[in-house]
Amino acid sequence: SQQGEEDPQALSIQEGENATMNCSYKTSINNLQWYRQNSGRGLVHLILIRSNEREKHSGRLRVTLDTSKKSSSLLITASRAADTASYFCATVSMNRDDKIIFGKGTRLHILP
């Protein structure tokens, strides 16, 4: 049962530009997480933002959360070729079932 929905589905940008991906979800959440998946590999956990937080940074990553709009965004600054991957948002709901529900992902392609 999908909770988060990423937008856009695919994104191509020039190396050095900033990449922004958005995620919308439906029900109240405890936290929201972003993951990266390189082609043919497993997912890598990038960042977790709690429902009472509005913004979080990790290196070149900036995540925002707007619980009133039920949306989040992931910004990657100064993109590099190695950032080419799929990015997933994932939510943990308030219903205490302690599971992470993943969206369908955004495919990001960094052009040289």
Partner 1 sequence: EADIYQTPRYLVIGTGKKITLECSQTMGHDKMYWYQQDPGMELHLIHYSYGVNSTEKGDLSSESTVSRIRTEHFPLTLESARPSHTSQYLCASSRGTAVNYGYTFGSGTRLTVV
Distance CA 88, CA 33 (A): 8
Q: Is 54 helix (H, G, I), strand (E, B) or coil?
A: coil
Per the DSSP assignment, residues forming a β-bridge with 24 are: 5, 71
Q: Of 69-88, which residues contact partner 1 (CB under 8 A)?
A: 86, 88
Q: How far is the CB of 112 from partner 1 (least distance, A)?
A: 24
* Only segment of 13-21, 59-67, 68-76, 94-102 that touches partner 1 (CB under 8 A): 94-102
Examine residue 30 and tell whether it contacts partner 1 (CB under 8 A).
yes
* Only segment of 20-28, 31-39, 57-65, 66-74 that touches partner 1 (CB under 8 A): 31-39
Residues 6 or more apart whose CB falls under 8 angstroms from that of 45 comprise 33, 35
**Residue 7 contacts residue 21 (beta carbons within 8 Å):** yes
Examine residue 31 and tell whether it contacts partner 1 (CB under 8 A).
yes
Helices H / strands E in the chain, number of each: 0, 11
Q: How far is the CB of 102 from partner 1 (least distance, A)?
A: 4
- Contacts with partner 1 by CB under 8 A lie at 1-2, 30-31, 33, 35, 37, 40-45, 48, 86, 88, 90, 92, 98-100, 102-105, 107
